[in-house]
A and B are shown apart, each in its own frame.
Chain A
Amino acid sequence: MPLLEVKNLGINFGGLRAVNKFDLDIQTGEIVGVIGPNGAGKTTVFNMLSGYYRPTDGTIAFKGRTMNGLRPFQVAQRGIARTFQNIRLFPQISVLDNVRIAFHPRAGYNMLDSILRTPRFKAREAELTGRAMNLLAVFGLEDKAEIKANGLPYGAQRRLEIARAMAVQPDLLLLDEPAAGMNPAEVQQLVELVRFVKEKFDVTVLLIEHQMGLVMNLCERLVVMDFGEIIASGLPQEVRENPKVLEAYLGRGAVA
């Protein structure tokens, strides 16, 4: 059984068909990339997978259970975490709390425990903090734990967003253009980071990307979208040589 099973997914915005007949199976442990020119519908697919948009038709099944109609927080609780193209952190609070917030659904104590500072609160809180610090250490942010998230440099903010996503303890990680705004050296570091995260946390990765260098390097399998539909899929090498893909990226004349 695939980890994620998407069948015939489609969505209309008014009269516009933004995504049409999108099928995708992801097996546990894969790194899959979704590529395509601007406006192809990649982020729209992500938004449907993470519960932001309600698909007009089609089904999404995760670990064999349907995900249709779930709200984003429910999707997260089922084990899908995501990052955003334009980083979305909690800017005015500490790096540590950015991660600790993601433990909230599994905090293991109630409001009464909080306000009365019960032993259960103390024990759980110490554990959450310890786990958050460990995560920060993995992402090289340990010594930044107490500064505000918006005080981090751009690359570190990207790492923090991934760290926060991993605090959700996902089985599937969705990365929306993780290399946006990065220079080639940073992109290389990112490739290594994603590989490392995948191995370390045993997580399956689906990512959207523009930068061909990154996807060719990182992804085991690619899906190419254009005008809301899948125009090609397969191994990176195959996709690169597919005339339809070249046409979508470079225009018709370039292929001939």
Chain B
Amino acid sequence: MNKTKQMVLALVGVVVLYALLKALIVTGIIGPYWQIILNESMIYVIGGLGLSIIYGFTGQFSLGHAAFVGIGAYCAGWFAITFSHYGIWASLGSLVVGMISAGLVGYLIGVPILRLKSDYLGIATLGFNFIVYDGMQNSDKLSSVLGGAQGMTGVPQFQTFEWYFVTAVIVFILVRNLVFSSHGRAFTAIRENETAADVVGISPARTKIMAFTVGCVLAGLGGALYAHNYPYVNPDSFTFLESINYLIIVVLGGMGSMTGTVITAVGWTFLLEVLRMFLSLLGPSFINLRGVLYALILIVVIILRPQGIFGGMEASFLVPRIGRRKSNAAAGS
């Protein structure tokens, strides 16, 4: 099957998926509660793709991804509330604000901390997450709109699923285009062997900062959508434990696999909800078993497939065809 056909099929697949989900929503089979969870899964797809670029493709271990989601949520929320008299434009603008603010902070924090490697970088980003969390707790001192420890309320809500689905699809296409380009190859080169990347002329510092910033922009976009999906934005939604959720999505999905990140993001969101529902049926005291169960799932998957469920694999329609040309001996020069 050639690539054009595959692309068309993929597009048809996306439309069919949308129509199916929409039909389920319209007929009420997916009720308002599950629709919010569905939206949330799209948010995890977007934020997860951000961390996938940072960790899955570029190999920079971040334990603070939720901090950037939170920065996006708060900045976007503040913007949407402050300019709410502009209606939909305030909300659209708030998405941009969420991306820019998280991207800017990511860049500024990335410059000093991306010199660190693996575990050390993990600890630095973890520390940053705590700083941001404390900042959110005290955000009411900056602007009463932000609400501090009380949380932020009053962000206009996007009730429709289209917002989340279309944004996620667009983000996915753009990330795919980035990954399959010279920039994406530079990211992977840094992950695979930083020294080797350096001697072929790729600046490790610049490349890491670029990947980190792009990943944070996506986290910010996820955060901005989060603020529009829940009437109440709370610092506790962006703790270190939430960063672990993103990390799980990337690691469980498979390092360097967009396909894996997307499937795991959706799967993980619903798994958590299903576990919550199922366990609460058994009785209120069982709900705490959720943490045990999902940790267990994680352990089992990592033992059976240490490279992640889709590690190193990509759905074939995503991979661009190699533009083969007739080889002649006049190469290189």
Contact = CB atoms under 8 A, between A and B. Distances in A.
A and B: real partners? yes
Nearest to B181: A114
Contact of A72 (B198, B322, B328): B198
Contacts of A167: 200, 332
B193 interface: yes
Contacts of B196: 84, 88-90
B2 interface: no
B275 to A, nearest CB: 33
B36 to A, nearest CB: 30
A85 B174 CA distance: 39
A72 B174 contact: no
Contacts of B204: 73
A168 interface: yes
Interface string A87-118: 01111110011001111110101010111110
Interface residues of A, number: 57
Interface residues of B, number: 38
Interface string A134-153: 11111000100110000000
Contacts, number: 149
Nearest to A164: B200
Given A114-B182, A125-B323, A145-B322, A137 B329 contact: yes
B193 A90 contact: yes
Contacts of B201: 73, 76-77, 102, 104-105, 168
B333 A169 contact: yes
Interface in A10-46: none
B93 interface: no
25 contacts: A73-B197, A73-B200, A73-B202, A90-B196, A91-B193, A93-B185, A97-B188, A101-B188, A102-B200, A104-B186, A104-B189, A105-B202, A109-B181, A111-B183, A114-B182, A116-B174, A117-B177, A129-B324, A130-B325, A131-B331, A133-B322, A133-B327, A134-B328, A138-B331, A200-B329
Interface of A: 50, 71-73, 75-77, 81-82, 84, 88-93, 96-97, 100-105, 107, 109, 111, 113-117, 121, 125-126, 128-131, 133-138, 142, 145-146, 164-169, 200-202
